Structure 1
Amino acid sequence: MGRFARNLMARASGGSVALSRLWPGRTDRLIIAPHDLRTADATRAAEIYAGRFVFAGKIVTCHGRSIFDLEPPSEDWEVALLGFGWLRHLRAADTALTRANARSLVDDWISNPSRKRPVGRRADVLSRRVISLLSQAPLVLGDTDGKFYRRYLRGLAREIRYLRYTMLDTDGVPRLQVLIALCYAALCLANQGRHIRAATRKLSDELQRQILPDGGHFSRNPGALIELLIDLLPLRQTFAARNIAPPPALLNAIDRMMPMLRFFRHGDGAFALFNGMSSAPSDILATLLAYDDTHGAPMANMPHTGYQRLDAGAMTVIMDTGPPPPPSVSQDAHAGCLSFELSAGPSRIVVNCGMPSTSRDNWRAFARSTAAHSTLTYHETSSCQFVELSAMKRFLQGAPVVSGPSNVESYREVVANGVLLTTSHDGYMPRFGVMHRRVLMVAHDGTRLDGEDTVAPAPGARIKGNETDYAVRFHLHPSVKASRLSDARGVMLVLPNRDVWTFEALDDKVELEDSVFLAGNDGPRRTAQIVIRQDSRHAPSVRWSFVRSTTSASANSGRRNARREPELPL
């Protein structure tokens, strides 16, 4: 039996693994193990065997004690530990030692159900643990005996029962993760026909509710697509492995979501940083894109999710043109309406600050503010308001959006000089009585982006109060070297590939200030931001442009004033 289990593990990389022959005759047996698409690193198995658990940038050494009894150094570390995704690293090593180590660690967990670990009962963590225990069953159950097998199944059944209760008070991605895990459980265990039908129906209903017609998630977080597809794609395979037709809602959701991966990607492969998005793991993205059968150009308009994409030549502009998501899924939503990101070929130029992948609570308030986005901020106030009371944050499991833009408009057209995108939002109307209007025009050859930001009251109305100051910000990627020009109305930008771009303001003084890029793979990084400050009573509009230079940096600086600015067709 042990040799057979090892043969199964060796074939696991090709898809779902059949387990029905491991324990024939049992009515409560595992019959299949789903495929895990996440990248495994066999070298990490030695660290775990030595009692060193490295998650979320933190290291904990056991020193002979149970890892589950030690105080976690951070919530992110505890989430990674209790999700059991690290079992895939032990499986990748595929030795008798790592199999025994995996079995010992899992046994340590399931033999102590009385451990009080609130994080371990979170919907997302519990879902990940159930899926990990199912997908890594060939590793844990290889070379084992019937006594451990029964204990394993009892522990797994207990986790699944918890999972059903957890679903009742969650929404968004965690709720979908619960339903995905319950589908896996029903498909992987024997004699689960009734549960398969129920789980499939609930998952189908939730996919139709949460995945919008254009393929985006209704939380408006691009990262939700990655989190869901990495589990939905193997689930589709698992249905096929059980000779059960995948539900149409699952197939349709995957078909709609896959093009969105390309929509949010810049030329360097990174995702645009909107509404909670952090750095996207390149290995996971590469795996997901390998399942994309279309390989076509990204779509330009995502009207249901609320984003626009402008491609011209080597230039890409991705813009947030949607209102905040529903309050129940807005815990990670940002006040970044009408912010955009700009890239040229493999170089990102203008970005939003993004969200760090770990230690989010330290940066959450800043990262969600309008000032952390490349857009206009009125009186240093965010266009969305979030729950502020600590008691309410704990009760609501976060700080959802309580108010923000309710009317966001966008209109794009092809004009003589390029593609024109006209947008507006009313997020500042209730407090200050002004609308923010942003117009962008991308030149057909991709060498120029012209823009104008305007803040003005509605027709026939007046600005409320005496607060009339505003700032237009453009956060730069850390790889861009920025130097303010001598006339204080422009900034020269040198990209990593030595291309030179120039930011220019027609009538306004330009400042170059400090900023922080939060979504780096190695943590927050210092960077710069271009800032134009004005007063809405005296100067309600700011015009600006990003221009690609064909000359050297010094020549570009000297000739800047000789160029005539093109007129936006407003």
Structure 2
Amino acid sequence: MRIWNGAAGPLQVVAKGVFARGVLAKGLAPSAGRAVSRSGLRERTRLMALLAELWSQQVLARLGGRTMALGYVPVPVPERLLIAPQDLRTGDATLASEIYSGRFAFAGKVMLLDGRTPFELVPPSVEWAEALHGFGWLRHLKAAGTTIARANARSLVGDFMRDPGKARAVAARPDVAARRIISWLTQATFLLQDADHDFYRRFMRSLARQVRQLRRMANDAPDGQPRMLAVTALVFAGLCMSDQGRLLKAADKRLSEELDRQILPDGGPLTRNPGMLIELLLDLLPLRQAFTARNQPAPPALMNAVDRMMPMLRFFRHGDGAFAHFHGMGHTAADQLATILAFDDARGAPVANAPYSGYQRLDARALMVIADTGPPPPAMASWEAHASCLAFEFSSGRHRIVINCGVPEVHREMWRQVARSTAAHSTAVIADTSSCRFLQGGSMTRIFGAPIVSGPKHVDVQRGTRNNALLLRASHDGYAEPFGLIHQRSFRLAMEGNRLDGEDVFKAAEEGAKLPAETFAIRFHLHPSVTVERLDDPHTALLSLPNGEAWAFAAPHVPLGVEESVDLAAAGGPRRTAQLVLSGEVVRTPRVIWTFVRTREAQSVPPGRPPARG
């Protein structure tokens, strides 16, 4: 095993021609030969302590009474299904014809059956296999609503019941099995209508067998969304399948425990991934309705968790409806988010302070700043967390200006190391090294993934108002051990909604110590819709938005560079964009001041015509 410091490294994407110039070479690559940490012995000691903690948590999870109760509860083959839950995810009837013709397009890959079942194919990617074996595509066949689509759906389900095929290991994973169980239950009415007795009995036996397997593996799912999904699927099974009183009681208790642990008091998720809120609510809201349909009270933990999560949906939204890109958040599915928000009766203003989740939000008229002001999540829940402390996103009205790179919808493994690095976020990077270190390689990663081994432990946050402006100041010690530095960042957002002032300060971690002779790069990744124009002043750039609005970015006394970047979370796949970079040496420039000022209001731009340059 080894520890990875979060820099991009020599990625295969360069050979594949994906933004080889600038993005990796300038913005996200590590300096050659730099050590991960200057205190190797302490790093190894901490790593061994972390692994011991991870092992102990795994053992305790298996030996604990709650897991034993769920893992051994009987699951008889049901005589019938009592209810079919609602599926809040949108089905597309046009995709049903593609499936019927033998064209299976998932996760950016297309496979043709050519007379075979889809399960006989060698999957082109793990993501493709996850989508296939999760059976979420049944909703498209249901949306078609035809007799042919129903027969096709039954045939494909029957193919899986006979033989899961080449990707049986993926199909058996707890998170994939949970998604498949939920998909079968939500589409049961569609599948079983006019079905013969033989298919009906095989379907019930297969469903019971999968639930038995899942209840034993629920705690093997990675912490966070996968484990929550597994427990949620078991509660669905207990509610929908007849003769499952003991399963429902045990799964209900386990779900309450996970919700109390994973949904923090301010409504944010333990993993700190905003996208987890959307995925969870798409399942928890129908689960809440399923309890009502069975004339049973929903567990208080479920009701309370939903009530806490709803306001956080608005917390992470920019003016264009997209979520901020933090800790694994990718492209925002607008239709799914709109469906969830329709269940929000309060429809109040978003909270500004989310201290348990580790985020802060500043709003001034149409301007918005969302900042990551928290340490990494606990080790067991950090397998997809990013080194993004003090990163921020900035938007004006319906237009995002400063973003983080985010993660793509497909090919996530190819971009994972780049996306998790500090350089992929709009914050300061010291010596091309991330503020977190990640476990990488070896047998441990097959068990635990790539959790964060070390990073910021103390993040101090202060906010207030002064002189008609919103103020936010935060600092983190993620660079204290490798470089003896504390990074402090301050924001001042004018309440008139026309200016954002920022300051980055590098201080010695120990009082009286000298600042190290290390380089820094303060990065501001721009949304692809933003056009950058360099001015004669080497410290200033003009930013133009699609609506004609213009902003000037200035950083006195610090060289300003404009380099290539990439928006990984863009709809349709990664898109080229630009980043503003302020660079220097910590010992020479320990304090950097920068400003965004609006220089031109939005204009009425005729369709198809670019805004005029100012």
Q: Is TM-score (shorter-chain normalized) higher than 0.5?
A: yes
Which residue, 581, 585, 596 being the options, matches 1:546?
A: 596
- Partner of residue 546, structure 2: 496
- Partner of residue 232, structure 1: 284
- Partner of residue 181, structure 1: 233
- Partner of residue 573, structure 2: 523
- Partner of residue 190, structure 2: 139
**Structure 2, unpaired ranges of 5+:** 1-76, 604-611
Tell me how far 1:114 sits from its aligned partner. Answer: 7.4
Aligned-partner Cα distance in 2 for 1:116–1:380: 39
Which residue, 481, 487, 503 being the options, matches 2:537?
A: 487
Which residue, 204, 222, 232 being the options, matches 2:274?
A: 222
Tell me how far 1:274 sits from its aligned partner. Answer: 0.3
1:130 and 1:156 in contact (8 A); partners too? yes
User: Percent of aligned positions with the same letter in both sequences?
Assistant: 55
Which residue, 549, 556, 573 being the options, matches 1:506?
A: 556
- Partner of residue 149, structure 1: 200
- Partner of residue 435, structure 1: 486
Which residue, 258, 263, 268 being the options, matches 1:206?
A: 258
2:317 and 2:323 in contact (8 A); partners too? yes
**Equivalences for 1:115-514 in 2 at 5 Å?**
117-170=168-221, 171-396=223-448, 398-458=449-509, 460-463=511-514, 467-514=517-564
Which residue, 107, 119, 131 being the options, matches 1:56?
A: 107
Residue 437 of structure 1 aligns to a residue whose secondary structure is strand
Tell me how far 1:551 sits from its aligned partner. Answer: 7.1
Tell me how far 1:506 sits from its aligned partner. Answer: 1.9
Distance 1:63 1:500, change over 3 A: same
Tell me how far 1:262 sits from its aligned partner. Answer: 0.3
Aligned-partner Cα distance in 2 for 1:550–1:326: 44
Distance 1:293 1:187, change over 3 A: same
Tell me how far 1:194 sits from its aligned partner. Answer: 1.7
1:421 and 1:439 in contact (8 A); partners too? yes
- Partner of residue 28, structure 1: 79
Residue 402 of structure 1 aligns to a residue whose secondary structure is strand
Tell me how far 1:379 sits from its aligned partner. Answer: 0.8
Aligned-partner Cα distance in 2 for 1:362–1:60: 20
Residue 325 of structure 2 aligns to a residue whose secondary structure is coil
Distance 1:46 1:27, change over 3 A: closer
Tell me how far 1:459 sits from its aligned partner. Answer: 5.1
Aligned-partner Cα distance in 1 for 2:385–2:164: 35
Aligned-partner Cα distance in 2 for 1:409–1:122: 39
Tell me how far 1:168 sits from its aligned partner. Answer: 2.4
- Partner of residue 13, structure 1: none
Residue 453 of structure 1 aligns to a residue whose secondary structure is strand
Give the number of the structure with larger relative contact order, counting CA–CA contacts within 8 Å between residues 6 or more apart.
2
2:503 and 2:594 in contact (8 A); partners too? yes
1:379 and 1:467 in contact (8 A); partners too? no
Residue 387 of structure 1 aligns to a residue whose secondary structure is strand
Distance 1:490 1:260, change over 3 A: same
Tell me how far 1:192 sits from its aligned partner. Answer: 1.5
Tell me how far 1:115 sits from its aligned partner. Answer: 6.0
1:481 and 1:493 in contact (8 A); partners too? yes
Distance 1:453 1:27, change over 3 A: closer
Distance 1:196 1:456, change over 3 A: same
Tell me how far 1:228 sits from its aligned partner. Answer: 0.5
Tell me how far 1:368 sits from its aligned partner. Answer: 0.5
Aligned amino acid, residue 572 of structure 2: D
Distance 1:524 1:557, change over 3 A: closer
1:354 and 1:518 in contact (8 A); partners too? yes
Aligned amino acid, residue 255 of structure 1: D
Distance 1:499 1:551, change over 3 A: closer
Residue 482 of structure 1 aligns to a residue whose secondary structure is strand
Aligned amino acid, residue 566 of structure 2: V
Tell me how far 1:161 sits from its aligned partner. Answer: 1.2
Tell me how far 1:388 sits from its aligned partner. Answer: 2.3
Q: Which one is further off, 223-232 or 187-196? A: 187-196
Tell me how far 1:393 sits from its aligned partner. Answer: 2.1
1:432 and 1:467 in contact (8 A); partners too? no
Aligned-partner Cα distance in 2 for 1:111–1:468: 61
- Residues 355-374 of structure 1 show CA distances to partners (whole Å, capped at 9, x for unaligned) of 11110011110111001100
1:432 and 1:463 in contact (8 A); partners too? no
Aligned amino acid, residue 198 of structure 1: A
Aligned-partner Cα distance in 2 for 1:492–1:323: 33
- Residues 278-319 of structure 1 show CA distances to partners (whole Å, capped at 9, x for unaligned) of 011111011011111111111000000000000001100000
